[in-house]
Amino acid sequence: MGLEEEIEELEREIAETPYNKSTEQHIGRLKAKLAEKKEELEKRQQGGGGGGGYAVEQHGDATVALVGFPSVGKSTLLNALTNADSEVGAYEFTTLDVNPGMLQYRGANIQVLDVPGLIEGAAGGRGGGREVLSVVRTADLVVFVLSPFELQQYDRLQQELYDNKVRLDQEPPSVTVSEKGRGGIRVTASVDLDLDEDTVGEVLRQHGVVNADVTIRENLDVDRLVDAAMDNRVYLPSMVTVNKMDLVDRGYLETVEAGLRERDIDPDEAVYVSAEQGKGLDALKERLWHELGLIRVYMDKPGRGVDSDEPLVLPAESSVGDALEKLGGDFEERFRFARVSGPSAKHDDQQVGEDHVLEDEDVMRLVLRK
Ligand SMILES: Nc1nc2c(ncn2[C@@H]2O[C@H](COP(=O)(O)OP(=O)(O)OP(=O)(O)O)[C@@H](O)[C@H]2O)c(=O)[nH]1
Ligand SMILES: [Mg+2]
């Protein structure tokens, strides 16, 4: 039996087996096996195919991927948001490559990627979608661009991303596996588990783990358990923007909102824009900023004062140490302490060390060794 048939066989068996306590272990084993087989198939395909030419370089402070079907207006939106000049066409598949643009907002450089039409089966390697999806995996935020007339595309986009090991709007599973030389698999759970400990063992063994201490801190299901055992899942936040709102009249707006609700998207959480008419873009930029959770730190430079034009932009919860790393050079080596004023400081010019956690709009002065 070929790998493809094995995968189909496993998928069929999973679909046909009713899930209950007595079948849980069996299903766990099947799902874990399926994940491994898919991995194997992917490796084999990559080996033969020359590999992805979609290595978009990481630039800027954060990266946003615009994901949507052909002709929903991704390129138009990219051009409206950024300094990119992406080709726009009134026909499908204008964008054959991933187009990057840079959005400057609040002193941050946000790289926006226009990801060409994800088509059905992309995650299965058809239509060159695999490389495109691999670009999405490197982003910090996924923005679904939807047409108000084709909201159902969202379902397929989500499925494609899931199949490509992208997990949206969820934290990584709270599971740690420390492998050991012997002793089998020992499970410690800090919460009540619906899953059987034997299922945990079964899934891990399918992934080649034989001896390990496993600590579980959430009541997870089989799928998340498999995710926890695989180290190639990426966990990203996502949001929805609905484009071409210039074509939507008041009456139809209710249909759009109902369509969003049907897909568990809160209509108040979606951002409505017209890329072509440049409407709603400020709200969209604001949301991108918010979703990315970036913070600005204004550096107080000796002899030059506070640089309020070009803040140091960092992920939320960044420490002084993270700031030093981003600044590069020899700042880390020469660091003695910092003086911080603003939201994170107890008082102005508070003296802090590398572990101090910064907040948006802090002002920081570094005191360095000569
Ligand atoms: N009415 C209206 N038309 C729009 C809007 N945004 C884009 N369009 C039109 O929709 C068509 C497709 O736009 P593109 O930006 O090329 O779409 P795309 O998503 O990049 O498509 P692909 O590159 O094929 O994946 C073009 O004719 C645009 O002019 C909008 O806000 N309103
Ligand atoms: Mg395009």
Nearest ligand 1 atom, CA 243? 31
Considering every ligand atom, which ligand is closest to the CA of 144? 1
Helix, strand or coil, per DSSP, at residue 42: helix
Rounded CA-CA distance 366/154 in Å is 47
What does the pLDDT read at residue 168? 96
Condensed to tens digits (0 to 9), the pLDDT of residues 215-244 reads 999 999 999 999 999 888 999 999 999 999
269 vs 263: CA distance, rounded Å: 12
Residue 86: what pLDDT?
Answer: 59
| 8 A C-beta contact, residue 348 and residue 368 | no
**Residues near ligand 1 (Cβ within 6 A):** 68, 70-76, 88-90, 92-95, 116-117, 243-244, 246-247, 274-276
Separation of first and last alpha carbons in the chain: 68
Which of 66, 69, 71, 160 for mutating ligand 1's site (highest number of atoms within 8 Å of CB)? 71
Low-confidence residues in the chain, pLDDT < 50 = 48-53, 91, 93, 120-121, 125-127
Q: Which atom of ligand 1 is found nearest the CA of 76? A: 15
Question: How many whole angstroms from 116 Cα to the centroid of ligand 2?
Answer: 6
Is 295-368 the same fold as 62-169+234-292? no
Query: Which residue owns the Cα nearest ligand 1 atom 3?
Result: 244
The ligand that comes nearest to the alpha carbon of residue 116 is 1
Tens of pLDDT, residue by residue over 132-169, are 677 788 899 999 999 999 999 999 899 888 988 899 99
What's the pLDDT score for residue 30? 93
- What's the CATH number for 295-368? 3.10.20.30
d(CA 217, CA 174): 5
Closest ligand to residue 72's CA: 1
Residue with CA closest to ligand 1 atom 2 = 244
Q: Would you list the DSSP string of 301-326?
A: ETTTEE--SS-EEEETT-BHHHHHHH
- Pick the atom of ligand 1 nearest to 275's CA: 31
Contact 251, 224 (CB under 8 A): no
| Domain residue limits, the chain | 3-51+173-229, 62-169+234-292, 295-368
Residues whose Cβ atom is located within 5 A of ion ligand 2: 75, 94-95
Q: What is the pLDDT of residue 1?
A: 76
**Which residues are CB-neighbours of 25 under 8 A, at least 6 positions away?**
196, 198, 199, 202
pLDDT of residue 95: 53
10 Å Cβ neighbour count for 267? Answer: 16
Residue 167 DSSP SS3? strand
Residue 293: per-residue pLDDT: 94
Q: Residue 31: name the closest of 172, 207, 197 by CA.
A: 207
Query: What per-residue confidence (pLDDT) applies to 85?
Result: 64
Distances (CA, A) of 85 to 25, 82, 286: 53, 8, 22
Q: Please state the atom number of ligand 1 nearest to the C-alpha of residue 114.
A: 20
Residue 163: exposed, middle, or buried by beta-carbon count in 10 A (0-12, 13-18, 19+)?
A: middle
Give the per-residue pLDDT at 55: 54
Predicted pLDDT at 88: 61
Distance 273 CA to ligand 2 centre (A): 16
Q: What is the fold, at CATH topology level, of the domain defined by 62-169+234-292?
A: Rossmann fold (3.40.50)
Mutation pick for ligand 1 pocket among 76, 92, 150, 248 (CB with most ligand atoms within 8 Å): 76
